């Protein structure tokens, strides 16, 4: 019961911060645009250079800096203070700040590349820009997925081959049995930052690898780790990456289409010079944010269905219901996951089924043997 109250208290604040952050973003974007600050920032950039790309880059630098400073207090509270408050973090402040700045820089680079590309299409294809922009966005997502294992992850964690040779062989045999190519099984030093546990399957083709956190290796049995690895393998077997890509494509193209409709109808009303005017960016983000909020429950529902199928695959592939149940309970305790979240939290924040549903499914399968 003590663990239940801890996880409830921990997740309640975490979940609340999501809605607080969303509200702050909406208020900031409205104020930034309607106060004239957005236009002033663009005009300031024009005093430095007349070049389209550099004007956009200067504007985006100022805009992203403002967003970072706005979110920093919440990032500190949620990512550092609250994690230490519940004894989940192993990081000192400077280490946490270094990671936070690295994440911010990576996000800025991605935003800069994406925005510059989108604004080229906005300037060149006034009515069909959203089709080209959506395609470019999906291309960037593909590139990021390719570089995550070898470029992004090493910026934050150190890889090493797992030392438990028996466990490595167990996982390799599992993947071979189901005809999934696997480069190897690696550990990352997650314990340098947190007490939480995690695992993932990442990479494509010859670079595909299972990554297990050292916290997982330290606290879970080989049978429990096997059912977790089988769950990750299921995503490949079920072509879930393609399904998620299709979902994201629908959201991106749908969102950009609605943004285009709004832009075409609103430019004159707000006195913006053209559809490619960077000062209108806050309004574009507001429309996209509202579209994302409306579609989020549906996307999360589909994601939960995908994760449920991966759980079923894991249970059938390993036949080890007891290990699955104990693994879920351990993950819940280590990560302070709420077993029975409120319906609103599940609707907006849960892309995996809540723990009690995952455990109940395994228990039903165990009882029906």
Q: How far apart are CA 75 and CA 107, in angstroms?
A: 14
Residue 220 DSSP code: S
Residue 6 pLDDT: 87
**Rounded to 10 degrees, what is the CA torsion of 110, 113, 117, 123?**
110
Tokens 């991106």 sit on residue: 252
pLDDT at 232: 92
**pTM here?**
0.88
Q: Which of 183, 231, 201, 255 is nearest to 331 (CA)?
A: 231
At residue 1, the pLDDT reads 47
**H or E segment to which residue 136 belongs:** helix 129-147
Q: Tell me the pLDDT of the chain (369 aa) as tens digits.
A: 466 678 889 999 999 999 999 999 999 999 999 999 999 999 999 999 999 999 999 999 999 999 999 999 999 999 999 999 999 999 999 999 999 999 999 999 999 999 999 999 988 888 889 999 999 998 998 888 888 888 888 999 998 999 899 999 999 999 999 888 888 899 999 999 999 999 988 877 777 889 999 999 999 999 999 999 999 999 988 988 888 888 888 888 988 998 888 887 777 777 676 778 899 899 889 988 999 899 999 999 999 999 999 999 999 999 899 999 999 999 999 999 988 888 888 898 999 999 999 999 999 988 876
pLDDT of residue 251: 87
Provide the pLDDT for residue 13.
92
């Amino acid at each position: 019961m003590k663990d239940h109250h801890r996880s409830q208290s921990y997740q309640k604040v975490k979940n609340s911060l999501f809605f607080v952050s969303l509200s702050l973003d909406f208020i900031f974007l409205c104020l930034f645009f309607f106060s004239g600050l957005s236009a002033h920032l663009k005009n300031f950039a024009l005093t430095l250079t007349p070049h389209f790309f550099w004007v956009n880059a200067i504007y985006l630098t100022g805009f992203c800096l403002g967003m970072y400073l706005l979110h920093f207090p919440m990032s500190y509270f949620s990512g550092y203070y609250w994690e230490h408050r519940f004894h989940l973090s192993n990081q000192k402040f400077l280490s946490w700040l270094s990671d936070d700045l690295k994440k911010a820089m990576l996000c800025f680079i991605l935003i800069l590349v994406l925005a510059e590309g989108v604004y080229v299409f906005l300037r060149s294809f006034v009515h069909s820009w959203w089709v080209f922009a959506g395609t470019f966005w999906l291309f960037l997502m593909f590139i990021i997925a390719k570089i995550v294992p070898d470029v992004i992850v090493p910026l934050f964690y150190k890889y090493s081959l797992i030392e438990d040779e028996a466990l490595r062989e167990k996982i390799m045999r599992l993947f071979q049995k189901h005809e999934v190519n696997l480069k190897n099984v690696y550990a990352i030093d997650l314990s340098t930052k947190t007490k939480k546990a995690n695992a993932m399957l990442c990479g494509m083709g010859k670079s595909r690898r299972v990554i297990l956190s050292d916290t997982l290796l330290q606290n879970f049995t080989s049978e429990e780790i096997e059912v977790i690895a089988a769950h990750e393998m299921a995503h490949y077997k079920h072509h879930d990456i393609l399904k998620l890509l299709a979902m994201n494509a629908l959201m991106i193209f749908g969102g950009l289409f609605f943004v285009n409709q709004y832009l075409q109808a609103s430019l004159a009303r707000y006195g913006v010079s053209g559809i490619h005017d960077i000062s209108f960016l806050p309004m574009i983000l507001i429309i996209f944010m509202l579209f994302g909020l409306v579609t989020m429950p549906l996307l999360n529902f589909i994601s939960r269905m995908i994760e449920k199928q991966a759980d079923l695959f894991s249970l059938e592939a390993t036949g080890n219901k007891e290990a699955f149940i104990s693994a879920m309970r351990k993950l819940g305790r280590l990560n302070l996951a709420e077993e029975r979240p409120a319906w609103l939290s599940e609707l907006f924040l849960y892309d995996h089924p809540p723990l009690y549903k995952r455990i109940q499914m395994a228990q039903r399968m165990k009882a029906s043997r």
